[in-house]
Amino acid sequence: MANNVPITVAHGDGIGPEIMDATLHILKEAGARLDIETIEIGEKVYNSGNTAGIAPESWESLRRTKVFLKAPITTPQGGGFKSLNVTVRKTLGMYANVRPCVSYHPFVKTKNPVMDVVIVRENEEDTYGGIEHRQTDMVEQCLKLISRPGCEKIVRYAFEYAKKNNRKKVTCFVKDNIMKQTDGLFAKVFNEIAPEYSGIENESWIVDIGAAKLVDTPENFDVIVMPNLYGDILSDVTAQMTGSVGLAGSANIGEAVSMFEAIHGSAPRRAGQNKANPSGLFLGAIMMLVHIGQQDIATLAHNAWLKTIEDGIHTYDIAREGTTKETVGTKEFGEAVVARLGQKPETLKTVEYKVIEESGETATKPLYNQPIQAKKDLVGLDVFIHWWNGKFFGAADELGPLVERVNGDGVKLVMISSRGTKVYPGGQPDTFCVDHWRCRFMSDTDGGTLTKQQVISLLGRFEENGLDFIKTEHLYNFDGKAGYALGQGQ
Ligand code: NAD
C-alpha cells in the first residue's frame, strides 16, 4: 500500500467550510491516502490585521506539503487588502492555471451540449504584475511584461498536459498582430515547442476571433493556452458556457507547490444553509489526486460524481424541472456521491485516469531553458514628456520645434507620438492628443549607436529647455535586430 501524501487544507469562508467537509468526506470514503494539515486563511486572518490574509506559519505548511486544497475565501471590501489568491500563486510560482470546462448535457442545462475544453492560463506575468503608474494629469500606465521562460513554462505545460491526458489539440490565443513583441514572443515560443509534440495537433488564433469561435463552436476546441489577461476572462466565460461556474474546478500548478480549488467564490449569502454545490471544489480535489499520483481514487470518485449528476441528484443551483429528480443539500450531495462509489455513468463519458510512467523518449522536457545572451546595442531613446497647451488637436506642431531644440551631441529627434501614433513630423490634424508625448531620439549618423553618457546629456538638455520628462525607454538592437516597435504611422 502506498504511503499517505501530506496535503495542506484551508476551509475558507462563507460556504467554504461546508463544501470542504463534503469534498473531504467523499475523498475519505473513496480511500484517498492523505495526511491533512489544516491552516487558517481569509477573513479571520485579514481581520486580525494581516493584510495578506495568510499567517507566516501557514507558508511553512505549504512549503512542506507542496499541495494545497483551498476552499474559497471572502476578501474584505475596501483598500489595503491583497488578493490572497494572487499572493499565494505569485509567491509560490504557480505559473499555470488549469480549468477543465465540461458540459454535462442533458443532465445540466447548457446552451453548449458538446463541450470538453481545458483552459491553460499563464498565471504570473502579463499586466498582472500590477506595475502601474500615473504619468501625467491625463494618463495612467500599466506595464505588460512577458518573459521567454514564462512563455516556455506555460506552453510546455499545455503540451505535456495534452500528452498526459490524451488530448488531441492545443490552440494558442494571442493578440500578436497588435502586440508584436509581447504576444509575439508568446506565439513564437508556441510555434517553437509545438513541433516537439508530433501526435498533438496545434493551431493559433488571434484572441478576438478565437474567443468568438470558442463561444460559437466549443466542440472544435480541446486545450487552449493563453496569456494571463485573456485566460482570466475566457476561463470564466468557458466555465459559464457549461451551464454553471459552480461546476468547475481549477488547478494552479507550480514547480514546487500547487493549489487546487473551485473557481467560484465564498457566496456569503448562502453560508451556513447546507445549500451550496460542492462540485467545483470536489473537481479541484480530483485534479489534486491526479497530481499526487492517486489516479485510482480520482477515477473512482469522479465516476461516482458523474453518476450522481446523471441520476438527477442536484443542488439548488443546477436543479431544473425535467433533469432533476431530487434537490439536495451540500451534505446530502456528498452522501449521494459516496453511495455511488464503484458505479460509473451510463450516458456521460466515464473517466479513467492512468498513471503515466515517464522514461526515455516520453520523459518530460525541461520546462524552460537558460537565456541565450544576445549582443545588445543602444541605438536610441524614447523620452516621454508631460506637456500641455490646452489643445487636443494639432498641438504637436507647436511641441515639435520645442523638442527639436534638445538635438545635439550626435543625437536627433526622429518622431513624436501620442499614445503610440506618430504626430510629428508630418502628423495628421485629426489625431486626438493628450498631455503625454513620446519623443524618439536616434543617432544622427545612420545606424549609429549611443552611449549612456549621450543619454544623460540629452536628458540634461530637456531640463535646461524646461521640458518635463517623466520616463525613458532605451531602444536596443539585439544581435542587430530592433528590440522596439515603430510608432503607428512611423
Ligand atoms: P461567488 O462565486 O461567491 O458567488 C456568485 C454567485 O454564484 C452567487 O449567486 C452565489 O450564490 C453563487 N454560487 C457560487 N458558488 C456556488 C456554489 N458552490 N453553489 C451554489 N451557488 C454558488 O462570487 P461573489 O459573490 O462575487 O464573491 C463572494 C466573495 O468570494 C467575495 O469576497 C470574493 O472576493 C470572494 N471570491 C473568492 C474566490 C476564491 O477564494 N478563489 C474567488 C472568487 C471570489
User: pLDDT tens digits, residue range 26-82?
Assistant: 999 999 999 999 999 998 898 888 888 898 889 999 999 999 999 999 888 777 777
- The CATH label, of 3.40.50.300, 3.30.390.50, 3.40.718.10, 3.40.50.2300, for the domain at 116-241 is 3.40.718.10
CA of 490 to the centre of ligand 1 (A): 48
Atom of ligand 1 nearest to the CA of 71: 40
Give the lowest-confidence range in 16-20, 73-77, 94-98.
73-77
CA of 17 to the centre of ligand 1 (A): 13
- The CATH label, of 3.20.20.450, 1.10.3720.10, 3.40.718.10, 3.30.420.40, for the domain at 1-88+248-361 is 3.40.718.10
CA of 245 to the centre of ligand 1 (A): 9
Q: Whose CA is nearest to atom 6 of ligand 1?
A: 267
| Mean pLDDT over the full length of the chain | 94
> What is the rounded average pLDDT of the residues 307-314?
97
CATH 3.30.70.1570 placement within the chain = 376-482
To the question of domain 376-482 being in CATH 1.10.10.10, the answer is no
How confident is the model at residue 371, as a pLDDT?
83
How confident is the model at residue 359, as a pLDDT?
58
Q: Whose CA is nearest to atom 34 of ligand 1?
A: 75
Q: Whose CA is nearest to atom 42 of ligand 1?
A: 265
Grid cell listed for 411: 543625437
Q: Whose CA is nearest to atom 20 of ligand 1?
A: 276
Grid cell listed for 282: 470536489
Atom of ligand 1 nearest to the CA of 12: 40
Q: Let me know if 130 is exposed, middle or buried by CB neighbors in 10 A (0-12, 13-18, 19+).
A: exposed
**Residue 361: is its pLDDT beyond 70?**
no
CA of 244 to the centre of ligand 1 (A): 12
Question: Which helix (H) or strand (E) element contains residue 79?
Answer: none
Taking only the tens place, the pLDDT of each residue in 201-236 is 999 999 999 999 999 999 999 999 999 999 999 999
Residue 14 pLDDT level (bands cut at 50, 70, 90): very high
Strands 223-226, 249-254: pairing kind: unpaired
How confident is the model at residue 397, as a pLDDT?
94
Rounded to whole angstroms, what are the CA distances from 409 to 152, 357, 444? 42, 64, 9
Atom of ligand 1 nearest to the CA of 15: 18
- Residue 343 CA to residue 125 CA, distance in Å, equals 42
CATH 3.40.718.10 placement within the chain = 1-88+248-361, 116-241
Crossing angle, helix 279-291 and helix 16-30, to 10 degrees? 50
Q: Whose CA is nearest to atom 16 of ligand 1?
A: 246
* Best residue for ligand 1 mutational test, from 82, 123, 266, 283 (most atoms within 8 Å of Cβ): 266
Which residue in 70, 73, 75, 122 sits closest to 94, CA to CA?
122
Q: Whose CA is nearest to atom 26 of ligand 1?
A: 265
Q: Whose CA is nearest to atom 10 of ligand 1?
A: 267
- Residue 200 CA to residue 340 CA, distance in Å, equals 35
Peptide bond preceding 72 in cis form (omega within 30 of 0) = no
Give me the percent of the chain exceeding a pLDDT of 70: 98
How confident is the model at residue 1, as a pLDDT?
55
- Asked if 103 contacts 114 with a C-beta cutoff of 8 angstroms, the reply is yes
How confident is the model at residue 398, as a pLDDT?
95
Ligand 1 binding pocket (C-beta < 6 A) is 15, 19, 72-75, 85, 246, 261, 264-270, 276-277, 280, 317
Q: Let me know if 29 is exposed, middle or buried by CB neighbors in 10 A (0-12, 13-18, 19+).
A: middle
Q: Whose CA is nearest to atom 36 of ligand 1?
A: 265
